[in-house]
Amino acid sequence: EISPVEDTNPTKTQHTFVVTVYDRDGRPVPNVQVHWILARTGDAVGDIVAFDDQDLGESGAKALTRKTDNQYSVSYTNEQPQTLHRGNRWVADEARWTDFEVGNGQTWCTITSPVEGDSHMIAYVPAIHDGLRHKVFAVKHWQRVPHLTVKQECAERVHVGMEYDYVITVENDGEGATPGDTMVMDNLPDGIQIMDDTTFPVNLGVLEAGEVEEFTVRVRADNHGMKVNQVEARAGEFVARAACTT
């Protein structure tokens, strides 16, 4: 079996398929050869960037693993667990995608695509002689997605009772438009009052790829102390946060 059978990723990230080979009693089988084939069609996208080439102990199978080109590689199911360390950060909230473990009887292959489209992966096990069971299929959909950044320009020091301006800048430096309006929320600390007609959340509308929006807020400090101002820009699941201190 192959996992996941179908999934969606942002372009220019990477995605790992995992194949598990079982015996007739449903037990995972190590040291089984698996051929990874990225199907080529007229509009096919995607390339193999990495595959399972770990040393499989006494079997010596590592010497037989290979990557012929960006559409074809050969690996072997593992004799022991292997942890895959993924370097990606999910663009929605900058959180790191979690590492995961590939177990006994499993092997893996990682692909990527710089453009939108579909990647169709075929995993073929020659040791299974049943022509209806020796292949499994999966598809990866690649989409351009936005990536939000937000920053503030705050005054370093102000006097109590003084009005001052600070600037909020939101940029979509991703490859796709935001999925709906981009809303900006400012968590003003106690003792800071808005003195102009700005009302949060501020709706910046849909931000196209590469678009930058900037606005100024006039506020007044009503008491002493260090003030930490936190701002958040959100469009659907895509979030960016920033903070500054006055």
Q: Using only the alpha carbons of the chain, give its radius of gyration.
A: 25
Nearest to 142 by CA among 8, 16, 39: 8
Q: Is the pLDDT of residue 167 over 80?
A: yes
* pLDDT of 200 strictly over 70: yes
Band of the pLDDT at 156, cuts 50, 70, 90? confident
Question: Given a cut of 80, is residue 57 above it in pLDDT?
Answer: no
Joined together, the tokens standing for residue 179 give 């999925």
The fraction of the chain above a pLDDT of 90, given in percent, is 55
- pLDDT over 60 at 48, yes or no: yes
pTM of the predicted protein model: 0.71
**How many other β-carbons are positioned within 10 Å of the β-carbon of residue 78?**
23
pLDDT at 68: 83
For the segment 84-102, what is each residue's pLDDT rounded down to a tens digit?
776 655 555 555 566 778 8
Q: What is the mean pLDDT of residues 68-84?
A: 88
125 pLDDT tier (thresholds 50, 70, 90): very high
Mean pLDDT check: name the lowest of 8-17, 47-56, 59-68, 130-139: 59-68
Measured distance CA(68)–CA(106) in Å, rounded: 21
CA distance 53 to 34: 12
Q: What is the mean pLDDT of residues 190-202?
A: 92
Cα separation of 173 and 210, whole Å? 5
The C-alpha atoms of residue 69 and residue 75 are separated, in whole angstroms, by 14
